[in-house]
Structure 1
Amino acid sequence: MITAGGFGANFDMIKHYDPKLVGFKTTNAPCSLGEGVKMAESIIAKRLNFDYII
């Protein structure tokens, strides 16, 4: 299992994973860019709970 920070400051990833949240205001740190998610995807890891992305 891999856990990673979020991607609430990565608007491209938000648009990709949940377009209805485009423009949604968040209190996530500006460094929440989804690097951990990208690394996990690069090894074809299974994503869980992406219905709760922000």
Structure 2
Amino acid sequence: SPAEEERLSHLVLLKLLSYPALSTSHHLLPPPSPGRKKERKTTEKQKNSEKEKE
């Protein structure tokens, strides 16, 4: 049924959006660099704080 197809394509879209590394999804997403930079900074901070705890 058309409704089912629509639901499936929506799920596929969600899958694509959840994998920004895939080049196929890049045109669906806003530029990922600002968020990625923030993530990298927070992970670095977490690593540093973990080191301080030790």
User: Do both share a fold (TM > 0.5)?
Assistant: no
> Relative to total residues, which structure has the larger helix share, 1 or 2?
2
Structure possessing the higher radius of gyration over alpha carbons: 2
Choose between structure 1 and 2 for higher RCO, CA contacts under 8 A separated by at least 6 residues.
Answer: 1
- When normalised by structure 2's length, the TM-score is 0.31
